[in-house]
Structure 1
Amino acid sequence: MSTIPPEPFVFIPADISSARGGAFRSDWQLHSLSGKTMGTHWSAKFSSSQQLDPHDIERTIIQSLDTVISQMSPWETDSDLRRYEGAPTDSWLVFHAEAFRVLEQALSIAQETSGAYDPTFAQAIDLLGFGPSSFSEYSYSSPEVQDAFTRAGFQRVELSPETRSVYQPGGLTIDLCSIAKGFAVDLACQRLRELGLENYLFEIGGEAKGFGCKPDGTPWLYEIELAHHAKDNLPRAQVALCGLSVATSANYLLYVQCNGQRVAHIVSPVHQDEADKTLSVSVFHDNCMKADAYATALFLQGTNAGLAFAEKRNLAAFFQTASGFQLSSQARELLA
């Protein structure tokens, strides 16, 4: 006997004035574009009165994504991160403006979380099989991984904003995958607005931002993905993205089994057991880069500590657990 799925939650921001911020008409055509990037997919929906060539839109999006990949991908040998990894001990390396900005934000959130979130865990991530090296079947408890955590530390990174330079103390590596995708959404959206678009929804594999509305005047609805083992118990959740970003972090999609232990791609040397009890965390923010990093930081802290952190930082956060949803006070106010 099949069960009837619960009615979906539809979160509408209390202030949706931005959905009507641009002009719109019901006879405008709705365009859709999509492609592959960063190991996942991107998609764009937009409408406009202007006679814009969809190829120009697609070219702008791809150029934005390529900027992020070329500077921040751990798989690109000439990226800022790979060059930093190979920089001599006690040296300074000049970063591109975009990569430097993202690193600054990542280090700021690392400071806020006292290192639960830390962009210098790159070597541990690589050893666990989620970096550019070949998978070597290490687990969280492997001495090599624990040693990599010990030798990491965001406190070891020094920045020189005047020259956009980053200090290499020796043997330190950086991974920005937990924040770069959100920045890529922001960058692509910024360039779409520079082209004159006022009504669009753009997404990269779970990180999304919306502006304006559909041709019929309704806001862009984005569905937050449910963990596959919770779909029978939890209702679908949709949010109207009206000048708003959403980013979701979870460990149920990208993981491997190693010696009977599930090894997932979001890693930290602390709070790992508690984090496993959280299926996913979504953060709503006007800045997708911040939403992306905060979602990971909250996930790593687990539901109880993550909710407390979100309350203290006034973050709109949506926690998915096996028993249901939990929202921070800011999320309840934002999505009233």
Structure 2
Amino acid sequence: MRFIPQLALLATSFFIISCSPKPEMSKIEGFAQGTTYNLTFELPADSNLPVEKIETAISEELARMDKVLSNYRDDSVIEQFNAQKTTEAQTVDAELVELVEIARTVHRASNGCYDLTIKPLFDLWGFKNDVFTPPSEDALGVALASIGLDNLETVNTTQLRKQLPNLRIDVSSIGQGYAVERMVKILEQFGVQNYLVEIGGELKIQGKKTDGEAWRIALEKPLPNERKMHKIVSFDSGEPMSLISSGTYRHFFDDNGKRYSHILDARSGKPVEHNTVSVTILHSDATLGDAWSTAFSCLGSREGLKVANAQNLAVLFIDQEGDQLIETESDALKTMSGISFKNP
């Protein structure tokens, strides 16, 4: 399964910090959504369940999601909806309607910076084929007139209506977080309580490792020419928590002495110009965390901090000023207990 990136965000790399593997830990890994996925978990002590049964359930769920949410295949539910050039109500999968509504809450709270319909702008700037092509103001105006999540109406739990016939939606900015939650649900249905589930660097944990130690995750330093650890996040309490990170420091274009980010602001249709190079959010729901990570990368630390505090969200912003990395924590992150950020 592959979701084509709508804002060209590159999730910050994560490294699971652990001792040598314990025999009690089970592992499942594979390829989905254009990236890898990894599950590390402890089966219940009284369970004789073969790991292969869980692996099959995971594969079947990813394949099912692929048929509903993937933009790369013409027969998916989302692409069948996109292909219909009509303003009549269309029946779709309830799962798609649910994701649209989750995204709508983030769209409104981010003052429209986050938007599921932005792909035409992404293509206009040449990001689709990795060929940077700044558009004219006229072309930009035409593209802006063809997007906007407010032009998508939720009729009921299984129907959506376009107000613009050519409107298209892309859930790549929320899809990986949602897939994490779906895989977590499968593990929990099999009685698993201690786990780390990760797709493309977006992850959720619960409980502890088999040796009783906390899960620890390393965040990469947000610099384009370095692959070093910047922070180590320790999930000391073991409470369910997702960690999602997005960054601008690897995907950009330099043109005539100016650097352009791959992140587009849906309000202006142009690449963002703030100095925020990395955003990390801790959230109990990986789906919301995924959407908010994208939104805060669009907003940047100055505007994003106000939104994060208003929404009581635990967010770490990192700005680059010259050779310096400046960290800014939201109020919720400052007061969060059970999770600690440490220097390597």
Question: What does residue 148 of structure 2 align with?
Answer: 153
Deviations 1:138-187 (A, max 9, x none): 3366754452223211111100224x101022110111111111011011
Q: In 1, Cα distance between the equivalents of 2:125 and 2:271?
A: 17
Q: Against the structure 1 CA distance between its residues 275 and 262, is the aligned structure 2 distance closer, same or farther, given a 3 Å change threshold? A: closer
- Taking every aligned residue pair, what percent have the same amino acid on both sides? 26
- Indicate yes or no: 2:69 matched with 1:72: yes
Q: In 2, Cα distance between the equivalents of 1:200 and 1:29?
A: 12
1:269-280 aligned at under 5 Å gives the runs: 269-270=266-267, 276-280=274-278
**Kept in 2: contact 1:275–1:301 (CA 8 A):** no
Once the 2 structures are TM-superposed, how far is the Cα of residue 260 of structure 1 from its aligned partner? 6.7
Question: What does residue 292 of structure 1 align with?
Answer: 290
Q: Against the structure 1 CA distance between its residues 194 and 275, is the aligned structure 2 distance closer, same or farther, given a 3 Å change threshold? A: farther
Structure 2, unaligned runs of 5 or more: 1-20
- Indicate yes or no: 2:121 matched with 1:124: yes
Of 31, 55, 63 in structure 1, the residue corresponding to residue 52 of structure 2 is 55
Q: In 1, Cα distance between the equivalents of 2:257 and 2:63?
A: 38
Q: TM-score, normalised by structure 1?
A: 0.82
Question: What does residue 21 of structure 1 align with?
Answer: none
Question: What does residue 311 of structure 2 align with?
Answer: 313
Q: In 2, Cα distance between the equivalents of 1:216 and 1:233?
A: 27
**Kept in 2: contact 1:246–1:288 (CA 8 A):** yes
Deviations 1:287-327 (A, max 9, x none): 00000111111111111111111011100001122223211
- Helix, strand or coil for the counterpart of 1:296? helix
**Kept in 1: contact 2:246–2:293 (CA 8 A):** yes
1:227-242 aligned at under 5 Å gives the runs: 227-229=222-224, 235-240=230-235, 242=239
Work out the number of aligned pairs and report it: 308
Of 161, 165, 188 in structure 2, the residue corresponding to residue 167 of structure 1 is 161
**Kept in 2: contact 1:275–1:303 (CA 8 A):** no
Q: TM-score, normalised by structure 2?
A: 0.80
Q: In 2, Cα distance between the equivalents of 1:72 and 1:130?
A: 21
**Kept in 2: contact 1:30–1:47 (CA 8 A):** yes
**Kept in 1: contact 2:264–2:271 (CA 8 A):** no
Q: In 2, Cα distance between the equivalents of 1:259 and 1:98?
A: 44
Question: What does residue 327 of structure 1 align with?
Answer: 329
Q: Which shows bigger deviation, 153-162 or 235-244?
A: 235-244
Once the 2 structures are TM-superposed, how far is the Cα of residue 35 of structure 1 from its aligned partner? 1.5
> Which protein has the bigger strand share?
2
Once the 2 structures are TM-superposed, how far is the Cα of residue 127 of structure 1 from its aligned partner? 3.4
> Which protein has the bigger helix share?
1
**Kept in 2: contact 1:246–1:284 (CA 8 A):** yes
1:125-204 aligned at under 5 Å gives the runs: 125-129=122-126, 137-139=132-134, 143-162=138-157, 164-169=158-163, 170-204=165-199
Q: Report the RMSD for the aligned CA atoms in angstroms.
A: 2.7
Structure 1, unaligned runs of 5 or more: 1-25
Of 85, 90, 93 in structure 1, the residue corresponding to residue 82 of structure 2 is 85
